[in-house]
């Protein structure tokens, strides 16, 4: 599905905990996330820390969307 969407010129960012799966499905822009049960969060954080973590991950994804790449890339 990822490759089909990108084939139409729409960039995709795959946010995942297990980045090898992202690579195996053909994702070109990959943002590693926190953990399998909480990919974009951490229930041990207070509300402010949780918000900051999520904001950081979304910012990485948005930066990945605007970055020209020539091969599959992980955005740490």
Q: What is the pLDDT of residue 1?
A: 76
Q: Mapped to the 3 state alphabet, what secondary structure does 42-56 carry?
A: CCCCCHHHHHHHHHH
Q: Once rounded to an integer, what is the mean pLDDT over residues 8-30?
A: 94
Q: Once rounded to an integer, what is the mean pLDDT over residues 22-26?
A: 91
Q: To which residue do tokens 């991950």 refer? A: 57
Instruction: Place 29 in a pLDDT band, splitting at 50, 70 and 90.
Output: very high
Over pLDDT 90: what percentage of the chain? Answer: 87
Q: What is the pLDDT of residue 63?
A: 97
Q: What is the pLDDT of residue 39?
A: 92
């Amino acid at each position: 599905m990822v490759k089909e969407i990108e084939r139409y010129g729409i960039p995709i960012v795959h946010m995942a905990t297990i980045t090898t799966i992202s690579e195996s499905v053909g994702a070109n822009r990959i943002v590693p996330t926190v953990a399998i049960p909480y990919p974009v969060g951490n229930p041990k954080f207070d509300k402010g820390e949780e918000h900051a973590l999520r904001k950081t991950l979304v910012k990485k994804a948005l930066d990945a969307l605007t970055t020209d790449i020539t091969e599959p890339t992980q955005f740490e």
